[in-house]
Amino acid sequence: MSNALPHAQNPAASSASPLVRTVAAGQPLSWLLRAWHDLTRCGWISLLHGVAIALVGAVMLWVAHERFWFMAGAFSGFLLVGPVLATSVYALSRGLESGEKPGLARVLETWLNWKHGRLQPWDAAQWRLVRFGVLLALAGTAWVLISVGLTTWLAPVPITSPLVFIEQVVLAKEGWLFEAWLALGGALVAPVFASTVITIPLLLDRQVSIGQAIATSWQVIFANPVPMAFWGALIMLLTFVGFATALVGLVLLVPLLGHASWHAYRDLLEVSALPEREQR
């Protein structure tokens, strides 16, 4: 049985607050198992997200060509913006919970607010998702630029391949480039992960402010440091596998992680006291 911790009040949000639950250290594995069940039920609709992200990755590889320094930063940047890219995957899992048959209509509604055969004006909740997505995109762009700057200006030779990156940056006998690269990356990725672990699912599911959602996400981290560290490691590992398999693995792993993140949100928060966002 999970324990619940009261969430601090946010005067700018609803007077109601979510309750943060504590979960077992191995709970992330359960999220992946339930995600697989959702993925098999959604079929090609879920896989379409992976295909789209893999195509974006292919464009990145084409742009980078022999500029591996760009790919090193882009991989980390992908981890930062990944949560917003999976927004419609969360919506599919949310629909499955309410007995909805998965379909392209849910995806179009999530991204375009397409309802009743035409585009509808976005409501305040959707604009909150957009604003948060822009913040994540800016954070990802900032890290790519920082990574490019470090590896381009401070590396002893041009970084043109993974082997050169390992030899001249990771295994360099002199200098501190790799340590600085890791430290700066960790200083950016860790707080972004803490700010996003349940934020977008919460914004998608309930009527809350961005500030309240981010604060709740940090509470989840503080209440579950070991499970969240394990979950973050799994995300990094599976994302690396997706890139290492010439992006083919992303077709499956992107929707799998998206569905799993929805189940993480459901296990980590009790949100019944918050007003629900209306579904189609």
Confidence of residue 185 (pLDDT cuts 50, 70, 90): confident
Report, as an integer, the average pLDDT of 139-165. 72
pLDDT for residue 168: 67
Does the structure show a pLDDT above 60 at 131?
yes
Q: What would the pLDDT profile of 258-277 be if each residue is shown by its tens digit?
A: 999 999 999 999 999 898 88
H-helix segments, 154-169: 162-165
Contact 148, 60 (CB under 8 A): no
- For the chain, give the percent of residues with pLDDT over 70: 80
* Helix or strand holding residue 81 (H, E): helix 68-85
Does the structure show a pLDDT above 80 at 19?
yes
Confidence of residue 181 (pLDDT cuts 50, 70, 90): confident
Write out the DSSP string of 226-263: HHHHHHHHHHHHHHHHHHHTTTTTHHHHHHHHHHHHHH
pLDDT for residue 116: 61
Does the structure show a pLDDT above 70 at 231?
yes
Confidence of residue 8 (pLDDT cuts 50, 70, 90): very low
Q: Which residues pair with 269 in a beta bridge?
A: 20
pLDDT for residue 11: 37
Pairwise pLDDT comparison (58 vs 166), residue with the higher score: 58
For the chain, the average pLDDT equals 82
pLDDT for residue 14: 52
Domain boundaries defined on the chain? 42-113+122-268
Angstrom CA distances, 90 to 51, 156, 254, 262, stand at: 17, 44, 12, 5
Report, as an integer, the average pLDDT of 157-173. 68
Contact 121, 113 (CB under 8 A): yes
Range picked from 121-130, 140-149, 166-175, 254-263 for highest mean pLDDT: 254-263
Pairwise pLDDT comparison (10 vs 263), residue with the higher score: 263
Give this prediction's pTM.
Answer: 0.82
Q: Which residues pair with 3 in a beta bridge?
A: 22
